[in-house]
Amino acid sequence: EREMQVALEQGFASDESWRVRRSGARFWASGQMTPLRDDQGCAIGFVKILRDRTRQRAADLRQAFLLELTESLHDAEDAAEVSDIVADKLRELLDVSRVGFGWVREGRIDVTRDWTDGRVASIAGSHPLSAYDADLIQALQAGQVVAVNDVEEDPRAAGSAPRYRELQIRSLMLVPLIEAGALTGLIFVNAEHQRSWRDDEIALAREVGERMRMAAERTRSRQAVRESEERLHVAQQAGGIGTFEIFPERGAVAVSEQFCRLWGLAPQPELKVADLLELVLPEDRTRLATINSQLPDTALEYVEYRIQRPDTGELRWMARRGEPLRDPRTGRLRYLGVSYDITERKRVVEELATSQESLHLATDAAEIGTWDLDLTTDTLSWPPRTKAMFGISPDGTCSMADFYAGLHPEDREATSAAFASAVDPARRATYDVEYRTIGKEDGVVRWVAAKGRGIFDATGRCVRAVGTAIDITSTKAAAARQAFLLELTDRLRPLTVPHEILACAVQALCAHLGVERAGYLRIAEDESAELEIEHAPQLPPLDADGLLLVFGKRQLARLRQGYTSVDEDQGEAEPRLRSLVAAPLLRENRLGAVFYAGQRSPRHWNVGEISLIEDVASRTWDAVERARAEEALRDETQTLETLNRTGYMLATDLGLDTVVQRVVDAGVELSGAQFGAFFYNVLDDEGGSYMLYALAGANASDFKFGMPRATAVFAPTFRGEGTIRCDDITADPRYGRSAPHHGMPAGHLPVRSYLAVPVSSRSGEVIGGLFFGHPQPGVFSERAERLVSGIAAQAAIAIDNARLLQSAQRLADTLETRVQERTRELEEAQEALRQSQKMEAVGQLTGGIAHDFNNLLQGITGSLEVLKRRVQQGRIGDLEKLATNAMASAGRAAALTHRLLAFSRRQPLDPKPVQVNPLVVSMEDLLRRTLGERVELVLMLGGDLWLTLCDPNQLESAILNLSINARDAMPGGGKLVIETGNAEIDAAYAARSGDIRAGQYVCISVTDTGTGMPPEVVARAFEPFFTTKPLGQGTGLGLSMIYGFARQSEGQVRIASEVGRGTTVKLYLPCHAGAHAADEADAAPPAAPRSDAGETVLVIEDESVRSEE
């Protein structure tokens, strides 16, 4: 009623207050009530229009809140008062259920006080941090504001959802207080229902937390100052801390020790006032009253000033307070006061000011425009930022007509429909739309994202619409550019032909930017240009020279430096491309190509369009270069495959005709010729010479004009003077100078491109020539020439090989017979060599045992002579003893002779299982007689000796040869040890040695105490015919034969020798796992055949005594 009364009296009445919607949600509304009057001016009713100003109210409240909070916190006395102020202020601003503050101590949150709306309970008390999710606690410890819209769904809080339900919390916001890197407290804001925290609310909470932290620091600083002042006041009679006493009449000041420390002075009882003032910054000196005329009779006012410490040069903020003291006797005044350092407090104040300025800058930097439409008056309000989105200057007017006129035609319908839904009382939809605008004054197209809502009165009529607008042009452009580039990349990826890649790129760019012409101009090293592709479907084409004229010298100079050239209007002088963007493509600091886009009409190119053209140019260039590289790689691979295939065929196929045909086929494939031929000379059986040819890409009937002659064109090839390559043979000065055709005869294969390569053998003979042709000029490149020259070299080798094969085939018939004869000769020579070595050993044996054999004969003859005399004397009683002695001597002589015959007889190599120890024992008697009395023979035979597989006769020969060599090395006598044993050769030793396999071996070692051998003799000991014995005393074959026997038996020989100490030769023979053969010596001799009665026995004997027996 009062509002109606005011409206009747003043014509209207205004108010602002919180109101409640039917849904129960609060909103702040400003209303204006106007009386309705009849024709006589009598009031017949009232109209009240409400405007939803909730957001504005919130902004105003936030600003006022921060200002009021700052003022309230400034005078707070302690931390508890600071937390109470913050909680009270936040609950006034935010529509929440609970607000409070808690200190974090020893893993717990101590809440001393909180505010609630009455619907939820207080949570004052101590709560363990472990009751809440670790991720949430970690975020707080990192100094992050945590805003959870729904604790049931947010993974940072879902683990503690039961705890939150118990505390009646559905959404929450936590603001940490970090001091010295640690979480010391937090502000909590709770709601019992799900809530979406806005960015401005989170930013506000963060700002509140920062201000609370600084206020807490400030209160602690103030508390410290107060305590310090109290201490100073108590201690002033005793000299106190930072105390001073001014004596104005003599310009002196008495100071305490702490005062001196604060000012950076050496401790001293009194200073001149003038000296202290020198330490105060000049601009602050006027604040300090220090002389009688300046000093008041009352207390010294609080003053802040800066000093420069003399000891460190540091600037410090100081504060001064003082009280006057009058001398009751003299009436003179002196002043007792304190001085203290407030530098840290000043820093805190400055940080607070900086924080307030940052908040203002952040709000301004958000670049969010607003709009407000009063539907009752059709009045549209736009701030300068929103006007700029429609291309309207800040002082320009705006209306709904400007809004609709500024919408892009393609977006006008959808935007209008969205706005209609927002102001429709039945729908009341949220206005959330993105649209393009066309600047009213500048014509620039921009993208705008707008949001808003309609405000409805009690009757349901929309009376106002408000919202925000953000310029998203750059975001849209970036997204469109990215989408276009991704699509272009997908389209280019499967393409492998450079021309197709270029065509795809220029077509896509023209369609995306709406330009009329785009193309790709390649610049050669000689500055000539070639237009590889241009897309201009509605325009006459441009050639390369025309484009260079369009670019002009100035633009070309910029392009060569790597700068993109942009022309928005070249004027009427160049109507084909008035506006143009040309992007340079450099390789190795040289302009290699230009990618351009343009149109016939002027155009403003924005930064995004220029960047897009540059990006497309670069990606297309890379794709083209990659395709060309892949194409070159495919060509090179095919070339290598052809060369390898041809080389393999030429190496394996020795047929002359097929070799030549394959060479021609390969030459045509590698050079790109349409046809090719090879002409060469072949000698027939009668010695006549004639020309043959192989063809590819042509028929024999095409050569109906006969064989080529040594004309000016062909002669250099047949003479082997070098390769001839002509882009156009008809333009060559050598062409057409020979009769009778003076060029190619009528009906000849059409040849313009010509390539001829001579084929020469190893001896320098020109075998023939490879000739290739093509109807088009300029087909054969330097690469083709090199490839064909390589094929020609391979052809020459193949033809030489074919000829050699023919010669070899003529020798093949007699080769096998000659090889067999030679093999037989070598085997006979080897056998003779072996036998000669054996006979040498026999000679050594016979010389050594001659004395023993003579003693045996004397035993026989002596016994027979005594027997003869006894018979003559008639003394026949003891004849049997004499006969037995004679027979025994004869038996020993026969055994010795048997050994010599067995050793010296010629027989083939016959390996068999051998027991080495019995074989060595059987040779003992032979060896002792051979070595003589001055050489001591010692046999050291190992137990459980393994079998070995070898020829026993060769083994005996080897042992005998080694023993004879040892005897010769001990001319003055000595000791010879023959030792046998088992040996294991491991893989490591075998790998290091390289000439013996790992495994089990039987080792026969022959060691002497002779003269020994130096290393250089040991190194050559196994060489055939190498000997250190005097001429005529050795053949040098002994050790080489032993080495051959060991290797033939899959064994090895090792020599260890030291001059003056002797030599050891070890013979390694592989272990044999089979059973040993019976010793032939132990086998019973076969029974001699006996004659039957009436048979005659023929006895043939060259010894007469034997024949008479």
Q: 754-792 pLDDT, tens per residue?
A: 888 888 887 778 878 888 889 888 888 888 888 888 878
- Cβ proximity of 35 and 7 under 8 Å: yes
The partner residues of 908 in beta bridges, in order of sequence, read none
Winning range, highest mean pLDDT, from 67-81, 140-154, 209-223, 740-754: 140-154
DSSP state of 280: B
> Can you tell me which residue has the tokens 């070899």?
808
Q: What is the pLDDT of residues 57-106, one digit of tens each?
A: 766 666 666 666 666 666 666 666 767 777 777 776 777 889 888 888 88
- Cβ proximity of 93 and 65 under 8 Å: yes
DSSP state of 254: E
Better-scored residue on pLDDT, 919 or 15: 919
**What pLDDT is attached to residue 741?**
67
Asked whether residue 715 carries a pLDDT value surpassing 90, the answer given is: no
Tell me the percentage of the chain whose pLDDT exceeds 90. Answer: 19
Asked whether residue 359 carries a pLDDT value surpassing 60, the answer given is: no
Please tell me the distance from the alpha carbon of residue 61 to that of residue 73, in angstroms, as a whole number.
Answer: 17
Q: What is the pLDDT of residues 941-956, one digit of tens each?
A: 999 999 999 988 889 8
**What pLDDT is attached to residue 601?**
87
**What pLDDT is attached to residue 591?**
87
Cis amide prior to 740 (ω within 30 degrees): yes
Asked whether residue 889 carries a pLDDT value surpassing 90, the answer given is: no
**What pLDDT is attached to residue 690?**
40
Please tell me the distance from the alpha carbon of residue 549 to that of residue 547, in angstroms, as a whole number.
Answer: 5
In three-state secondary structure terms, 754 is: strand
**What pLDDT is attached to residue 380?**
92
Please give the mean pLDDT across all residues of the chain.
80
Q: What is the pLDDT of residues 839-855, one digit of tens each?
A: 555 555 555 455 556 66
Is 821 exposed, middle or buried (CB count within 10 Å of its CB: 0-12, 13-18, 19+)?
exposed
Edge to edge, what strands does the sheet with 43-52 contain? 13-20, 26-37, 43-52
- Cβ proximity of 73 and 211 under 8 Å: yes
The arithmetic mean of pLDDT across residues 540-561, rounded, is: 80
The arithmetic mean of pLDDT across residues 515-524, rounded, is: 89
Cβ-count burial 279-301 (b if 16+ within 10 Å, e if not): bbeeebeeeebbeeeebeeeebe
Please tell me the distance from the alpha carbon of residue 510 to that of residue 484, in angstroms, as a whole number.
Answer: 12
**What pLDDT is attached to residue 1053?**
93
Asked whether residue 463 carries a pLDDT value surpassing 70, the answer given is: yes
Q: Residue by residue, what is the 3-state secondary structure of 174-226? A: EEEEEECCEEEEEEEEEECCCCCCCHHHHHHHHHHHHHHHHHHHHHHHHHHHH
Asked whether residue 1080 carries a pLDDT value surpassing 50, the answer given is: no
The arithmetic mean of pLDDT across residues 716-722, rounded, is: 78
Asked whether residue 17 carries a pLDDT value surpassing 70, the answer given is: yes
The arithmetic mean of pLDDT across residues 992-1008, rounded, is: 91
Better-scored residue on pLDDT, 139 or 368: 139
**What pLDDT is attached to residue 1102?**
47
Nearest CA to 255 among 266, 279, 275, 271? 271
**What pLDDT is attached to residue 1108?**
42
Asked whether residue 246 carries a pLDDT value surpassing 90, the answer given is: no
The arithmetic mean of pLDDT across residues 591-620, rounded, is: 88
Please tell me the distance from the alpha carbon of residue 907 to that of residue 808, in angstroms, as a whole number.
Answer: 40
**What pLDDT is attached to residue 925?**
84
Q: What share of the chain is helix, strand, coil (3-state, %, to 5)?
A: 45, 25, 30
The partner residues of 974 in beta bridges, in order of sequence, read 935
Please tell me the distance from the alpha carbon of residue 562 to that of residue 594, in angstroms, as a whole number.
Answer: 10
pTM of the full predicted structure?
A: 0.37
Confidence of residue 705 (pLDDT cuts 50, 70, 90): low
**What pLDDT is attached to residue 238?**
42
Asked whether residue 196 carries a pLDDT value surpassing 90, the answer given is: no
The arithmetic mean of pLDDT across residues 580-608, rounded, is: 88
Q: Could you give all domains of the chain from N- to C-terminal order, each with its CATH number? A: 2-52 (3.30.450.20), 56-212 (3.30.450.40), 239-352 (3.30.450.20), 368-471 (3.30.450.20), 496-628 (3.30.450.40), 635-735+749-811 (3.30.450.40), 909-1072 (3.30.565.10)
For residue 82, count other CB atoms closer than 10 A to its CB: 24
Gyration radius (Cα) of the chain, Å: 61
Is 231 exposed, middle or buried (CB count within 10 Å of its CB: 0-12, 13-18, 19+)?
middle
Half-sphere exposure (CA, 13 Å, Cβ side) for 195?
21
The arithmetic mean of pLDDT across residues 45-58, rounded, is: 78
Confidence of residue 292 (pLDDT cuts 50, 70, 90): very low
For residue 599, count other CB atoms closer than 10 A to its CB: 20
Q: What is the pLDDT of residues 650-704, one digit of tens each?
A: 666 666 667 778 888 888 888 888 888 887 654 444 433 446 567 777 776 666 5
Better-scored residue on pLDDT, 378 or 671: 378
Q: Residue by residue, what is the 3-state secondary structure of 513-563? A: HCCCEEEEEEECCCCCEEEEEEECCCCCCCCHHHHHHHHHHHHHHHHHCCC
Confidence of residue 1056 (pLDDT cuts 50, 70, 90): very high
**What pLDDT is attached to residue 701?**
65
Better-scored residue on pLDDT, 822 or 179: 179
Q: What is the pLDDT of residues 626-647, one digit of tens each?
A: 888 777 777 777 767 776 676 6
Winning range, highest mean pLDDT, from 200-209, 374-383, 478-487: 374-383
Q: Strand 935-940 to strand 590-599: parallel, antiparallel, or no bridges (unpaired)?
A: unpaired
- Cβ proximity of 501 and 90 under 8 Å: no
Please tell me the distance from the alpha carbon of residue 49 to that of residue 376, in angstroms, as a whole number.
Answer: 9
In three-state secondary structure terms, 344 is: helix
